[in-house]
Amino acid sequence: MNEKIAIMNKFTLELDLQKGLQYHQSGKLEKAQGIYGKILEIDPTHADVLHLSGVIAHQKGDHELAAEIISKAIQQNPTVPYYYNNLGEALRSQGKFQDAVSAFEKAIDLMSDYPEAFNNMGRAYGEHGKFDEAVNCFQQAVLVKSDYVEAYINLGVISKRLGKWEAAVYYYQKALDLDSKNAEALYNIGVVLKEQRRTDEALGYFERALQINPNAAAVYYSMGAAFKEKGDLQAALRCYQKAVQLSPKSAEVYVNMGNVFHDQGKLDEAISCYRKVLEINPQFFGAHSVLLRLLESACDWKEVEVLRSRLDALNDIALANGERAYEMPLINLAGCADPRKNAVIARSWSDHISKTVSTRSRPFVFSDGTICKNKIRIGYLSADFRDHAIAHLMVGLFPLHNRDEFEVFSYSYGPDDESYYRKTIEQASDRFIDLRLLGDGDAAKRIYDDEVHILIDLMGHTKGSRLPICAHRPAPVQVTYLGSMATTGADFFDYIVTDRIVTPEEHEPYYREQLVYMPDSYLISDHRQEIADKDWLREDVGLPDESFVFCSFNQPFKIEPVMFEVWMNILRQVPGSVLWLLCKNMTAEENLKREAELRGISGERLIFAKKLPKSEHLARQKHADLVLDTRIYNGHTTSSDALWSGVPVITLQGNHFASRVSASLLTAVGLPELITHSLEAYEELAVRLGNSRSELHEIREKLSKNRFTEPLFDTPRFAKNLEKAYREMWKIFLAGEEPRRIEVKEN
């Protein structure tokens, strides 16, 4: 009788187990768990039920409990491979890498043709950077199970991480061949194509993925990035807004949406997005850096000091851990005039780039065929061969290079705006190559295949730069120039072009590159730059007729409270004077007027100039009497433009590259008397000139003469000196010597 009851109980338990399994497989975890619990009350040693209970714990996110329960199942029956596989998954989810791998290996020992165990072990290896082992596991999985879609996708993921784009697409396509409606494979192919800058093709795959799964936030997110790359900001914004609807807690989507708003000039909306990022995830430390720049661009100074202090602390933590600083190098330059700190921040970013590239590339080898040529082949690399400050400065150089000794290749990865600057640089280059559709590795290979001798990057750590191209080391000699207002901190640049004012010898320890000292200012200019023939009166450009006009056309982010206080003191001491500023956004305009009022100066004395074409912008500057330079981040192109227009600039020579540029320009144009070395001296000089028209007239007359006699605007002279530097760099390389400091001497 007892035996019969035991058989009936066992039969009942099996029926209950089947019912529990049905609930489990249909996703009704609570009901399944309830049944499993009742079975275990009757038979606490039931291995299958213990195992399934552990699986539910894992599915519900309690991985520690899952591992504990599945281990009990294994104690009851140590011969079931599925138990070990699921134990491995629970351990992998806890980050217990070695224990997880041991569990997967045990599963495979028990069942050598177990594809899921191979696949899961591959994921564990991949998560810990052991990519060769991961690839081997995934390949074993598809060898055992040739239609294993997930394993093919995982092979694609690892290939992408290794920068093997073609292999990644191959594996994703294999997954699609097996399952034509696999949204994940479609999405991943789109991501790879986007990385390769095949944007239109990528969008096609994203759209196909959305047809299958219209609620995939990640696909909308990537589509937004692709549209932004194409320059279609409205389409990008629509995609990000849809992604936010589907995933309202995604900080990354708000980051990209904020960037689109910023590009559209909608500063308030951009700030709102970045505040949302930090509300969702206060640990998203990189957002502090961007929010700081946005607030500086809005001249909203209330939080700036707090944010900067917080960033300093976060940077210290990251750097102490050997990680990249959270603050972007360019933002650091605008708020910190300490060249040592600037160098540390920049180096952390460049080292991060170098590490990323080193996992994906093999070093290029330079053969005798590459280096033995009659002419030195130089390559200029930039996103800004367009209507942009860099092109404004550089455009006159390209036709001046001595073609008997040099070949000029220009590599562009920015938009073609069909401007005068773009067309002139294209026509004045021996070869003009558009790299926009190439990924970083392929772009580097193109430069290498072109056998460039000296590659000159014109971007540094500025917006839109692609330093990974240079990190691949596609040229024997690599130079950074113009883009970075400090060291790049990179081991993949041999030289930086500079001068003795922006980079005095005592600053040399803060540079990873070797210094190339130009004899005059490092900043090139265009001696043919057109000033429009406009017979404007002051009223035509919004200025009062009789007022003394102080001017600062620097971007708003360069204006900070310390110098603004000095400017207001100057206005107070020069009766009837006004301050002419550049209107970049209405928020900054309103904030600056409010800050003036707080200092007892009427907001009406601040006048804002709208954007004009460059030649007209230069023409209107003649109505300014005196330019007031910014403090931590000087005017660079801005100061050069003012001097070219015939307007004197007062500057305060600072402690780092970015705060010494105007001093370099004034020295090269023969007006060192306009360089000051304290806020008090700066204020005193501005007030004196503001109240002494005769003294100012003498300075303007001197500038008018010096424009055509001093080195600053002598572009042919600059070109010859730069070529001397290039010859010396190449000579050092051919001699097999290490890069060293170069001092360019004039005959």
Instruction: Write the pLDDT tens digit of every residue in 81-90.
Output: 999 899 998 9
CA distances from 641 to 38, 216, 393, 525 (A): 83, 49, 9, 9
Between CA 153 and CA 184 the distance in angstroms is 8
Predicted local confidence at residue 369, as pLDDT? 59
Task: Express each pLDDT in 352-393 by its tens digit.
Answer: 999 988 866 678 888 765 676 789 999 999 999 999 999 999
Q: Assess whether 709 and 726 both reside in one domain.
A: no
Does the pLDDT at position 496 exceed 80?
yes
242 plus 290 within the same structural domain: no
Assess whether pLDDT exceeds 50 at residue 6: no
Name the domain count of the chain: 4
Is residue 259's pLDDT more than 90?
A: yes
How many CB atoms lie under 10 A from the CB of residue 370? 18
Whether residues 608 and 630 fall in one domain: yes
Distance CA 312, CA 308 (A): 6
Are residues 426 and 478 both part of a single domain?
yes
Strand partners, 497: 516
Cβ atoms within 10 Å of 598's Cβ, excluding its own: 10
Best CA proximity match to 478, nearest among 351, 379, 374: 379
Q: Which DSSP string do the residues of 241-264 spell out, in sequence order?
A: HHHHHH-TT-HHHHHHHHHHHHHT
Residue with tokens 């600072």: 654
698, 560 in Cβ contact below 8 A?
no
Phi and psi of 132, rounded to 5°?
Answer: -60, -45
H helices, E strands: number in the chain: 33, 14
Q: What average pLDDT score do residues 639-647 get?
A: 97
pLDDT in tens, 32-56: 888 888 888 888 888 888 888 888 8
Residues 520 and 542 in one domain: no
- Residue labelled with tokens 């976060």: 314
256 belongs to a structural domain: yes
What was the pLDDT predicted at 582? 93
Q: Report the alpha-carbon distance of residue 133 to residue 606 in Å, rounded.
A: 65
With contact defined as beta carbons under 8 Å apart, do 477 and 455 qualify? yes
Q: Do 728 and 584 share a structural domain?
A: no
Angle between helices 183-195 and 149-161 in degrees, nearest 10: 20
Look at residue 515 and give its three-state secondary structure. strand
Assess whether 457 and 402 both reside in one domain: yes
Whether pLDDT at 73 is above 60: yes
Asked whether residue 731 falls in the same domain as residue 611, the answer is no
Residues whose CB is less than 8 angstroms from the CB of residue 122 and which lie 6 or more positions away in sequence, other chains included: 133, 134, 135, 136, 137, 138, 141, 151, 154, 158
> Helix, strand, or coil here: 408?
strand
Pull the structure tokens for residue 432.
């003009």
Residues 116, 240 within the same domain: yes
Check whether 9 has a pLDDT greater than 80.
Answer: no
Query: Do 457 and 379 form a contact (C-beta atoms < 8 A)?
Result: no
Helix, strand or coil, per DSSP, at residue 683 = helix
Query: For the stretch 458-488, what's the b/e string if a residue is b when 16 or more beta carbons lie within 10 angstroms of its beta carbon?
Result: bbbbbeebbbbbbbbbbbbbbbbbbbbbbbb
pLDDT surpasses 60 at 655: yes
500-536 burial, b at 16+ Cβ within 10 Å, e below that, comes to bbbbeeebeebbbbbbbbbbbbbbbbbbebebeeeee
The answer on pLDDT for 11 being more than 60 is no
Residue with tokens 């900043």: 523
Q: How far apart are CA 631 and CA 554, in angstroms?
A: 11
Which pair of structure tokens corresponds to residue 125? 């290896």
How many CB atoms lie under 10 A from the CB of residue 124?
25
DSSP letter string, 151-174: HHHHHHHHHHHTT-HHHHHHHHHH
Residue 66: the pLDDT is 86
CB 621 within 8 A of CB 554: no
Q: What is the pLDDT of residue 2?
A: 46
3-state secondary structure of 639: helix
Residue 733 maps to a domain: yes
Residue 407 sits at φ, ψ, to 5 deg, of -110, 140
d(CA 671, CA 91): 70
**Strands across the sheet with 578-582, in order?**
606-609, 578-582, 549-552, 626-628, 649-652, 675-676
| 513 and 558 housed in the same domain | no
User: Which domain range does residue 354 map to?
Assistant: 285-358
Residue 507 in domain? yes
Q: How far is CA 560 from CA 336, 630, 690, in A?
A: 12, 8, 22
Q: Residues of 382-415 as b/e, b for ≥16 C-beta within 10 angstroms?
A: bbbbbebebbbbbbbbbbbbeeeebbbbbbbbbb
Q: Give the end of a domain, one of 308, 326, 358.
A: 358
Look at residue 54 and tell me if it is in a domain: yes
Q: Which two tokens stand for residue 746?
A: 């004039």
Percent of the chain predicted with pLDDT > 70: 97
- Residues 300, 195: Cα–Cα separation, whole Å: 36
Whether 733 and 653 share a structural domain: no
CATH code of the domain containing 471: 3.40.50.11380
Encode pLDDT of 166-193 as tens digits: 899 999 999 999 999 999 999 999 999 9
Q: Average pLDDT for residues 226-232, to the nearest whole number?
A: 92
* Sign of the torsion angle spanned by Cα atoms 662, 663, 667, 672: positive
Whole-number Å distance between alpha carbons of 381 and 480: 10
User: The domain that contains 177 carries what CATH number?
Assistant: 1.25.40.10
**Cα 218 from Cα 497, distance rounded (Å):** 43
- Specify if 326 maps to a domain: yes
Cα(188)–Cα(205) distance, rounded to whole angstroms?
9
- pLDDT recorded at residue 7: 46
- Asked if the structure places residue 5 within a domain, the reply is no
65 and 194 both lie in a single domain: yes
**Average model confidence (pLDDT) for the chain?**
93
- CA 598 remoteness from chain centre: 36
For residue 452, the number of C-alpha atoms closer than 13 Å in the C-beta half-sphere is 31
Closest CA to 453 of 174, 731, 170: 731
Task: Give the C-alpha separation, 430 to 432, whole Å.
Answer: 7
Task: For the chain, report the end-to-end CA distance as a whole number of angstroms.
Answer: 117
Last residue of a domain, one of 267, 297, 319: 267
Domain end residue (candidates: 305, 335, 358): 358
Domain-embedded: residue 277: no
Contact 472, 364 (CB under 8 A): yes
Residue 443: both structure tokens together: 């772009």
Q: Residue 8: its pLDDT value, please?
A: 43
Least trusted range by pLDDT, from 42-56, 546-560, 661-675: 42-56
Strands 578-582 and 742-743: unpaired
- Report pLDDT digits (tens) over 434-481: 998 888 988 999 999 999 999 999 999 999 999 999 999 999 999 999
273 in any annotated domain: no
Task: Compute the chain's Rg from CA coordinates.
Answer: 32
Higher-pLDDT residue of 2 and 99 is 99
